[in-house]
C-alpha cells in the first residue's frame, strides 16, 4: 500500500511517518508514504498555490494547476487507486470506510487549505471526498494523518496480536469491553474475579456482555447496526429492563 499526500505543509508529516505503528510499518516496508509539496509545482516566480476567488468573497482558493501538476508527478502503483480530497463536505470517515480503503494499493490524499480547492480539481481528478467530522479545520493535513493511521493499522501484519484488530471497537458495532492489567488491586479497586478464573469461555461471555452494556450506556445508536446473537439480544433486553 502506498499513500501519497499532497500538501503545502509537508513539514507536518514526519511526526506521523516516524513514530508508532505507522512508523514501524514504513520501516518494515509494509506501507510507503510519500509527501508531495504542492508549492514545488506553484505558479510563477513566487510559486503561488492560491489566489482570490472569482466572484469575490473572503479568503483564498487553492489554484488548480499546482495541484494538477503535483498529481501528475505521482507514480502510479499497479492495482486500484483512489484520489481522496479532505474536506468538511465529504463523506464521513469511519471504521468501515477504513476497512474498504485498506484494500486499495494506492491512496492519494489531497489536503485542501483556505476556502477550499478550485472546483475543477474536485470534479476532474477526485474520486472521493472525505470528512473526519462535522467541524472545520484549517486544512486537510490532520484529517489525512488520521486516515493514514486508521487504514495502516488494518493492513495485515501491522498489528502485533493476530486477533487484536478484529476484536476492536466498531468492527462489529460494539464498544470494547473494560481492560485490566497488573496490579490486581489498585487504590483498593480489585480486578473483576472472573478475569483471574482462567476459564476462557466464561471470560469471553463476560466480555461480550460488558461490550453490550457499554454500548448501551455510551453509544446506544450503534446497537441498531450491531451484529447480535440471540444470547446477545437477551443480555441487551435484561440490561434495558434494569435501566428503567
Smaller CB separation from ligand ADE, 10 or 88: 88
Q: Contact between 7 and ligand ADE (CB under 6 A)?
A: no
Distance separating alpha carbons of residues 86 and 75, to the nearest angstrom: 21
Q: Contact between 116 and ligand ADE (CB under 6 A)?
A: no
Least CB distance to ligand ADE at residue 86 (A): 4
* Cα–Cα–Cα angle for 21, 200, 217, rounded to 5 degrees: 70
**In this structure, how many other beta carbons lie within 10 angstroms of the beta carbon of residue 215?**
21
Candidates 72, 123, 135, 181; binder of ligand ADE (CB under 6 A) is: 135
Distance separating alpha carbons of residues 74 and 191, to the nearest angstrom: 52
Candidates 137, 155, 205, 209; binder of ligand ADE (CB under 6 A) is: 137
Q: Contact between 83 and ligand ADE (CB under 6 A)?
A: no
How many helices (H) and strands (E) the chain has is answered by 9, 9
Candidates 133, 178, 183, 192; binder of ligand ADE (CB under 6 A) is: 133
The grid coordinates of residue 234 equal 437477551
Classify burial at 8, counting beta carbons within 10 Å of its beta carbon; exposed 0-12, middle 13-18, buried 19 or more: buried
Among the residues of the chain, which ranges form H helices?
A: 14-18, 20-27, 64-73, 95-101, 119-125, 141-152, 200-218, 220-223, 230-243
Residue range at the interface with ligand ADE (CB under 6 A); choices 63-71, 86-94, 183-191, 229-237: 86-94
Least CB distance to ligand ADE at residue 132 (A): 4
Residue range at the interface with ligand ADE (CB under 6 A); choices 13-21, 68-76, 85-93, 207-215: 85-93
Candidates 5, 26, 86, 151; binder of ligand ADE (CB under 6 A) is: 86
Q: Contact between 88 and ligand ADE (CB under 6 A)?
A: yes
Footprint on this chain of ligand ADE (rule: CB under 6 A): 86-88, 112, 131-133, 135-137, 140, 143
Amino acid at each position: 500500500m502506498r499513500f501519497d499526500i499532497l500538501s503545502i505543509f509537508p513539514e507536518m508529516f514526519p511526526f506521523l511517518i516516524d513514530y508508532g505503528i505507522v512508523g514501524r510499518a514504513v520501516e518494515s516496508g509494509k506501507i510507503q508514504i510519500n509527501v508531495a509539496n504542492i508549492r514545488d509545482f506553484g505558479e510563477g516566480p513566487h510559486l503561488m498555490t492560491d489566489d482570490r476567488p472569482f466572484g469575490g468573497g473572503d479568503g483564498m482558493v487553492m489554484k488548480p494547476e499546482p495541484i494538477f501538476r503535483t498529481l501528475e508527478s505521482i507514480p502510479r502503483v499497479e492495482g486500484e487507486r483512489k484520489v481522496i480530497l479532505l474536506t468538511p463536505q465529504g463523506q464521513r470517515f469511519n471504521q468501515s470506510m477504513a476497512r474498504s480503503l485498506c484494500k486499495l494499493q494506492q491512496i492519494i490524499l489531497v489536503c485542501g487549505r483556505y476556502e477550499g480547492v478550485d472546483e475543477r480539481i474536485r470534479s476532474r481528478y477526485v474520486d472521493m471526498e472525505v470528512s473526519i467530522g462535522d467541524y472545520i479545520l484549517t486544512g486537510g493535513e490532520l484529517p489525512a494523518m488520521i486516515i493514514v493511521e486508521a487504514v495502516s493499522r488494518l493492513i495485515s501484519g501491522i498489528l502485533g496480536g493476530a486477533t487484536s484488530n478484529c476484536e476492536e471497537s466498531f468492527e462489529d458495532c460494539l464498544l470494547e469491553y473494560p481492560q485490566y492489567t497488573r496490579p490486581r488491586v489498585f487504590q483498593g479497586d480489585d480486578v473483576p474475579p472472573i478475569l483471574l478464573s482462567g476459564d476462557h469461555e466464561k471470560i469471553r461471555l463476560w466480555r461480550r456482555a460488558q461490550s453490550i452494556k457499554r454500548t448501551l450506556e455510551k453509544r446506544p445508536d450503534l446497537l441498531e447496526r450491531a451484529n447480535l446473537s440471540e444470547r446477545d439480544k437477551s443480555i441487551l433486553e435484561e440490561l434495558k429492563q434494569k435501566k428503567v
